[in-house]
Amino acid sequence: MPRGNPSPKLAITIDPDVHQDVLAAAAHDRLSVSAWMTMAARETLKRKAGLAAIAVWEDQHGRFTEEEMDEARRRVHAQLGTKRVVRRPE
Per-residue model confidence as pLDDT tens digits over 10-59: 999 999 999 999 999 999 999 999 999 999 999 999 999 999 999 999 99
> What integer is the mean pLDDT of 57-83?
90
Better pLDDT: 5 or 9: 9
Domain ranges, residue 72: 16-80
- Asked if the structure places residue 88 within a domain, the reply is no
- Asked if the structure places residue 5 within a domain, the reply is no
Residue 81: pLDDT band (50, 70, 90) is: confident
Using a 10 angstrom Cβ sphere, with 0-12 exposed, 13-18 middle and 19 or more buried, the burial of residue 73 is: middle
Q: State how far the alpha carbon of 82 is from the alpha carbons of 29, 77, 87, in Å.
A: 20, 5, 15
- Asked if the structure places residue 52 within a domain, the reply is yes
- Please state the domain count of the chain: 1
Whether the model clears a pTM of 0.85, i.e. scores above it, the answer is no
- Asked if the structure places residue 7 within a domain, the reply is no
Three-class secondary structure of residue 79 per DSSP:
helix
Please, what is the end-to-end C-alpha distance for the chain in angstroms? 45
Q: State how far the alpha carbon of 90 is from the alpha carbons of 19, 31, 65, 75, in Å.
A: 33, 38, 12, 21
